[in-house]
């Protein structure tokens, strides 16, 4: 969570206190009420870029492999993704926080993209960082991970150093800048709205807010 959302957290805490004074649990009240702009989600003043096909509503997750909050979101995000309606398109954008090590972590995802291995390797990469506690901080680490995963190490090495990968990394950086991303995970809906677990209250609630916002976009709002 970053400073631009800190005031929103204070507002949410104040709201929870008011509910408590009425004898209502925040979760009960949330179930009975629509998401609130400025508390559960943000409406972007400047729309972000959308790459979804015509007729699709795009949901973008900005993530970082080293982020424990991103990893905590994965168990609820994956089944949610599996049930997305046909008119919703999901994409991942790696964020590097302008630090060299995290930029290297962005390179991992872009390598999987170049090789068409995101579906196979994305969750495994998170597990390596957080469950196995073996981060990938060098090219040597990456190639060792590739070998352990039964991949063609030479192909991974070529992709890791390819021109196409550099293009994808620059595109990811540009997208993060256009959305003014400063923390992860963040979910952006059709370039118009953002939500995240720290705003909504949990990963499950953030995805419920995302569904609500998708429906809002679907209705032209």
The pLDDT assigned to 99 comes to: 80
Q: What are the extents of the domains in the chain?
A: 38-218
Mean pLDDT of 159-184: 95
- Please state the pTM of the whole predicted model: 0.84
- CA separation for the pair 125, 89 (Å, rounded): 22
Q: What's the CATH number of domain 38-218, 3.40.190.10, 3.40.50.700, 3.40.50.620, 3.40.30.10? A: 3.40.30.10
Tabulate helix, strand, coil % of the chain (nearest 5). 55, 10, 30
- CA separation for the pair 87, 154 (Å, rounded): 38
pLDDT at 192 over 70: yes
pLDDT digits (tens, 9 = 90+) for 105-155: 999 999 999 999 999 999 999 999 999 999 999 999 999 999 999 999 999
């Amino acid at each position: 969570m970053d400073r631009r959302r800190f005031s929103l957290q204070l507002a949410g805490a104040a709201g929870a206190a008011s509910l408590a004074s009425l004898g209502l649990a925040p979760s009960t009240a949330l179930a009975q009420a629509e998401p609130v702009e400025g508390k559960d989600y943000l409406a972007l003043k400047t729309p972000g870029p959308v790459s979804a096909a015509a007729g699709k509503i795009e949901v973008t997750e900005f993530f970082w492999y080293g982020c424990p909050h991103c990893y905590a979101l994965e168990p609820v995000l994956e089944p949610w993704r599996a049930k997305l309606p046909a008119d919703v398109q999901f994409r991942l954008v790696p964020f590097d926080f302008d630090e060299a090590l995290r930029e290297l972590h962005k390179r991992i995802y872009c390598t999987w993209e170049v090789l068409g291995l995101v579906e196979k390797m994305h969750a495994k990469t998170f597990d390596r960082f957080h469950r196995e506690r073996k981060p990938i901080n060098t090219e040597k680490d990456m190639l060792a991970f590739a070998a352990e995963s039964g991949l063609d190490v030479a192909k991974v090495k070529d992709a890791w150093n390819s021109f196409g990968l550099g293009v994808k990394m620059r595109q990811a950086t540009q997208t993060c800048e256009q959305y003014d991303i400063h923390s992860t995970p963040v979910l952006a809906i059709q370039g118009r709205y953002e939500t995240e677990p720290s705003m909504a209250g949990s990963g499950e609630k953030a995805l419920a807010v995302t569904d609500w916002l998708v429906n809002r976009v679907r209705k032209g709002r």
